[in-house]
Amino acid sequence: MQDDGGWVELAPASAPRDAGWPVRRRRILVGAGLLALLLVALVTVGGLVAARQLAEEEAAATAASTTSLLSTAVIVPVLSDSLVRGTVGQTQSAREALDEVVRGWILGTDGVVRVKLSTEAGVIVYSDEAELIGRTSPLDRHDRATLRAGGLDAHVVDSDAVEERFDDAPGTLLVAYRGIETPDGTKLLVEVLFDYDRLTERSGQVWLRFAGVTIGVIAVLFVLLGSLIGWLLSRLAREEAARQEELRGELQLALGDAADDRRRLAESLRDGVVHELTGTALALSAASRELSQTDPVRSRLLATSARHVRDGLGGLRTLLIDLHPATLSVVALAPALEDLAARARNRGLTVRIDVPDRTGLDADEERLVFRMARECFANTMAHAHAGHLALTLHGRLLEIVDDGVGFELGSELGSVLGGSPVDGAERPRTGLRILVDAAHTSGASLSIRTAPAQGVRIRLRLP
């Protein structure tokens, strides 16, 4: 992201990275809850489908039983041979007698909406709908078998599939058949049509009561399942926390042992070699001054040796900080940065360090500043061909500036931010990548401003 001043933000300010990985209890609970709801829905839908099928089977059985009872107890006692074979007047009288009992005792009973009697040839000899009498509706194989055997049959049909006309037009019908005989043995087929919805209403009420109990039981099971899952997740979280704590303890113990070894080595170098080399450098400088008048050649040789020893001391102090970063609390940030500056000055750079003695930063922040400075100084000495280098720390803002050759940031930005190099970049800027990673890990903001022949400016703003 580039602002109007040419600054490009390489690492935005953010919260420091957290190495933990918490157990996502809410996600697991939500998943388990959704799964349980899905199971409840499947059970409920399956129950409804099964209940409908059972209700249909029960309705068919009820219709067959009702038709058998009505045929035997109501129709057969008033049935006359004249209904099939007789004079016009006799047939009409037989129909009227039958119509009287059908309308008085059968229609409307348990949802009955139509009653018909047919011969084996399919001729309708009686119907409560007078227009149907005399029509021929051939019987199918099952109906003829029912008629001949005097048996029972029932099934569900749609009202549009039958040649009937109803005032209230029920949507679904249940048709029941019963084979009967006239007094002289003529076989007839009784066909009774029921309103399916009215017939299954009672079954539906029974199902609703059953469904209420079933859903209540499922809800209780769901609550118990949720409680069990919550308890298991709590136990899992505790065990995971205990395991992580144990691993952290083992890791801290291992790191502590390594840190103790590095601290002892750093203290040994600081208290031994560093002090001895410091004394050597002072002695060489003193000897150089004493010989400056009597033996200029040896005096210059001793001065050069003293300078090399001091350079070595600077590098050794930097090594001590790398070896044990807590050494910064002993060495202090400003002297450590001066050691970096001394090494750069030996390369011919003019270096200015502006850092207060008391920075107000904690140990981790001082280590981050030192790491940034060390990497920037190394990049400048290796690539910038600069003449001047300046480091300034004001409050929580670190700024490092050189007057080197600079570079085209667009050619490096993709690789620096983790993508592919663009515009023909030769390779990723490893130094910039290190700076970005360090800033991102600590949550600091890192920005850069550069261009060819305009040097490089780096800003680190601590969180």
User: Which H, E and C letters describe 394-425, residue by residue?
Assistant: ECCEEEEEECCCCCCCHHHHHHHCCCCCCCCC
Fold for the domain defined by 348-463? Heat Shock Protein 90 (3.30.565)
The token pair at 160 is: 């549009």
Q: How far is CA 62 from the centre of its chain?
A: 52
Task: Please tell me whether the overall predicted TM-score, pTM, comes out greater than 0.85 for this model.
Answer: no
pLDDT digits (tens, 9 = 90+) for 305-323: 888 887 777 777 666 666 5
Q: Are 312 and 269 in contact (CB under 8 A)?
A: no
Homologous superfamily (CATH) of 28-203 is PAS domain (3.30.450.20)
Count the Cβ atoms, other than its own, within 10 Å of residue 455.
Answer: 21
Single out the residue of 401, 392, 399, 397 nearest to residue 356, CA to CA.
392
Using DSSP, state whether 190 is helix, strand or coil. Answer: strand
- The pLDDT, as a whole number, for residue 25 is 59
Alpha helices in 269-323 (DSSP H): 275-291, 296-323
- Put the strands of the sheet holding 187-195 in their side by side order: 124-127, 112-118, 187-195, 172-181, 152-158
Domains 28-203 and 348-463 share a fold: no
Q: What is the dihedral of CA 50, 53, 57, 59, to 10 degrees?
A: 110
Using DSSP, state whether 326 is helix, strand or coil. Answer: helix
User: What is the β-pairing status of strands 8-11 and 172-181?
Assistant: unpaired
Q: For the chain, give every domain's residue range.
A: 28-203, 348-463
Q: How far is CA 148 from the centre of its chain?
A: 67
> DSSP characters for 144-158?
HHHHHHT-EEEEEEE
Single out the residue of 9, 4, 5, 1 nearest to residue 444, CA to CA.
9
- The pLDDT, as a whole number, for residue 251 is 57
* Owner of token pair 């933990």: 20
- The pLDDT, as a whole number, for residue 20 is 44
Ranges in the chain, pLDDT < 70: 1-5, 14-29, 32, 47, 51, 158-171, 199-214, 248-263, 266-267, 270-271, 317-331, 410-430
